[in-house]
Amino acid sequence: MPIFNKSDLQLNRYEKFLLSQGDKDSLLRSIMAGTAKATRLLYKEDDKIKKTIWETGADVIGPLYTSFVWWILKNAEKHKIKRLYFMSRDGHILYKIAELFKEAWELDVDLRYFNISRQSIFYPSIIDVDTMDAKWFTWNIFSDLTPEIVLNRLSIKEEEVSDELLKYGVKNIHHRMPFSKKTSFLKFFHEPKVKEIILKKSDQLNENTIGYLKQEGFADQIPYAVVDLGWLALSQYALSRLLDKNNCRPKEGVKGFYLGLNGLFSAYKNDTGHAYMFSPKNYLFKINLIQYELLEIFCSTRQGRTINYKKDNGKFYPILSCSDIDKDWPIEAQIESVLHFTRNLLLTLPLLYKEYTPSDHIAHVFHLFCNYPSKNEADVYGRFLHGADIEEKKKVEISPQISMKEILKILRGYYWVQGSITRSNFIFRPILIILFTIINMLRHEILRLSFRIIFKIKRKT
C-alpha cells in the first residue's frame, strides 16, 4: 500500500479547475475531477521524475486528450464519417484513447493508425512546383536556414545544381543566408533544371507512397477523416494532393480533425479542417493555449519517424528512423497514466454521456500547466529534448535554464518559454509570462502576415 501525504489526498489545482470550470455540465466536471485524482493516486513508485510525469498524465494530458478524442468521435458521427485515420506519431496516444471509447461504447467506426510524416508525404505529392512547395522546402524561412538544409530536403546534390546556386549568389551551401537572399532564393525552385529534378524525384517516390496509402484503404469508397494535433495541417494538404495526383481523392475533399489550427492553415482545394482547441478564426484570442512543442511532447511515443516507404513481396511498408526519445525519459509512464485516466473515466461515466459532446473548456486545464507550471513540472518537462525542424535533427531542451540576457534568444526559437522562466527562478515571473503572452500573440500574427505576403498564399478555412 502506498503512503500518501495529507496534501496528496486533497484536490490539487488541476482537479479543482476541472471541478469548477472544466465543462458546462456539472456532473461531468465532478466525474472528471474525481477520475483525475483517482488516477493520480495510483502511482506507487518512489521516483520523483516518473511521479511528476504520471501526475501530469492524470491531471492534464488525460483530461485534455480524452476530451479531444471524445469530441472527434462525436463530430465523426455528425459528419457521417465511418473511418478515422490517426496520423503517426502524434496520433498514437489519440488512437489508443479512441480504441477505449469504441470498446466501451460499442461505436460503429473503423479506427486506423497509419505511418506518415511531412517528410514522407510532401515530396511525392508534388504535381507542379508551386508556392506551397517553396514554403515546405524553405521551412522555416525565418530560422537559420542554409542552402545545404534545403538541398538535403530535396535529396539534391550540390554538383547537380551548382550553376543555379551561383545564379542566386550561393557560393557556400553551409553558410546561412540573410533574409533578403532567402526571399529571392524562392525563385531557385522554378529554375528549369531544378524543377525537372524535383518532379522526377517526386514521381519516383510516388509509386511506393500511393501504394502504401491504397493498401491502408485510402482509395476505398468509405467516408473518412484524418486525425492529428494540427497547427498548419501540412500533412493533410500533402495527403490530399497525393491522392488527387493519383486520381483517388474523395470528391467531397479530405476532412481533418485537429486539436488546433493556426493562422497559417491552408486547405487543398475543398478540404476542410475542424479544430477543437483553437482555429484560424480565434487562435489569437486563445494564444495562452498555444504551445506546440509541449502538446507534441504530451503525444510522444518511442516509434521512429516515417522517412519513406518500400515494397517487399507485394506489400508496402513504412521505413522508420530510430526512436529519437531519450531512453532515460520515462515516456511509458506518461502513456500509461493517460490511458488509465480514460479507462477510469469510461467506467464511471453514465452511458447517457455517449450522446454528449464535451466543451473545449476542459482544454483550459492545459493553460494552468503551460503558463504557470510548478518548479518541479518545469524541471522535468523542460529537460525534454525536442526538434521543431522538419527533419527533427536539432534537438534542444524545450525549456533551458537561461539568464535575463538570453531571454530574447529563446523568444526566437521553438521553446516552452514559460518553463524556462520558471526553471530560471526569475523574480518577476508572472509579469514576464504576461509579457511573453503578448509577444507570442504579435509573433504569430507577424509570422502569418509575412508568410501570406512572401508566398502569396490565399487563406482557405
In this predicted model, what pLDDT tens digit does every residue of 94-134 receive, in sequence order? 999 999 999 999 999 999 999 999 889 999 999 999 888 88
Least trusted range by pLDDT, from 46-60, 74-88, 289-303, 385-399: 385-399
Question: In the predicted model, is pLDDT for residue 410 greater than 90?
Answer: no
Are 101 and 224 contained in the same domain? yes
Are 309 and 240 contained in the same domain? yes
Are 67 and 165 contained in the same domain? no
The confidence band for 460, taking pLDDT boundaries of 50, 70 and 90, is very low
The verdict on residue 24 lying in a domain is no
Are 302 and 234 contained in the same domain? yes
> To the nearest whole number, what is the mean pLDDT of the chain?
88
pLDDT number for residue 143: 65
Number of folded domains in the chain? 3
Q: Which amino acid is at 182?
A: K
Q: Which of residues 203, 232, 250 is at a domain's end? A: 203
More confident residue, 64 or 454: 64
Are 289 and 385 contained in the same domain? no
pLDDT number for residue 212: 98
The verdict on residue 76 lying in a domain is yes
Least trusted range by pLDDT, from 135-139, 168-172, 294-298, 307-311: 135-139
The verdict on residue 26 lying in a domain is no
The verdict on residue 1 lying in a domain is no
The verdict on residue 20 lying in a domain is no
pLDDT number for residue 79: 95
Reduce the DSSP state of residue 283 to 3 states and report it: coil
The verdict on residue 312 lying in a domain is yes
What is the arrangement of strands in the sheet containing 110-114, beginning at the earlier edge strand? Answer: 110-114, 83-87, 224-231, 255-261, 272-278
Are 105 and 231 contained in the same domain? yes
Q: What is the pLDDT of residues 411-451, one digit of tens each?
A: 666 788 888 888 887 776 676 767 666 666 666 565 566 55
Contact present, 392 and 90 (Cβ < 8 Å): no
The verdict on residue 127 lying in a domain is no
Element (H, E) at 310: strand 306-312
Contact present, 186 and 134 (Cβ < 8 Å): yes
Ramachandran region, residue 448 (left: φ > 0; alpha: ψ -120 to 50; beta: rest): alpha
Q: Which of residues 203, 227, 256 is at a domain's end? A: 203
The confidence band for 140, taking pLDDT boundaries of 50, 70 and 90, is low
Are 219 and 170 contained in the same domain? no
Question: In the predicted model, is pLDDT for residue 3 greater than 80?
Answer: no
Rounded Cα distance between 35 and 30, Å, is: 9
Are 233 and 254 contained in the same domain? yes
Are 156 and 173 contained in the same domain? yes
The verdict on residue 18 lying in a domain is no
Q: Is the pTM of this model over 0.85?
A: yes
Are 192 and 224 contained in the same domain? no
Are 220 and 189 contained in the same domain? no
The confidence band for 184, taking pLDDT boundaries of 50, 70 and 90, is confident
The fraction of the chain above a pLDDT of 70, given in percent, is 86
Are 336 and 237 contained in the same domain? yes
- Helix, strand, coil in percent for the chain, rounding step 5: 55, 10, 35
The confidence band for 375, taking pLDDT boundaries of 50, 70 and 90, is very high
Question: In the predicted model, is pLDDT for residue 455 greater than 80?
Answer: no
Contact present, 94 and 68 (Cβ < 8 Å): yes
More confident residue, 201 or 432: 201
Tell me which residue range forms the domain holding 276.
45-120+210-343
Rounded Cα distance between 234 and 237, Å, is: 5
Given the DSSP bridges, would you call strands 315-320 and 306-312 parallel, antiparallel or unpaired?
A: antiparallel
Q: What is the pLDDT of residues 25-52, one digit of tens each?
A: 899 999 999 999 999 999 988 899 999 9
Burial 409-447 (b: 16+ CB within 10 A, else e): ebeeebbbbbbbbbbbebeeeeebbeebeeebbeebeeb
What CATH number does the domain containing 260 carry? 3.40.50
Q: Which of residues 203, 223, 253 is at a domain's end? A: 203
Contact present, 322 and 304 (Cβ < 8 Å): yes
The fraction of the chain above a pLDDT of 90, given in percent, is 59
More confident residue, 323 or 391: 323
Burial 83-116 (b: 16+ CB within 10 A, else e): bbbbbbbbbbbbbbbbbbbbebeebebebbbbbb
Contact present, 146 and 138 (Cβ < 8 Å): no
Least trusted range by pLDDT, from 155-169, 273-287, 365-379, 439-453: 439-453
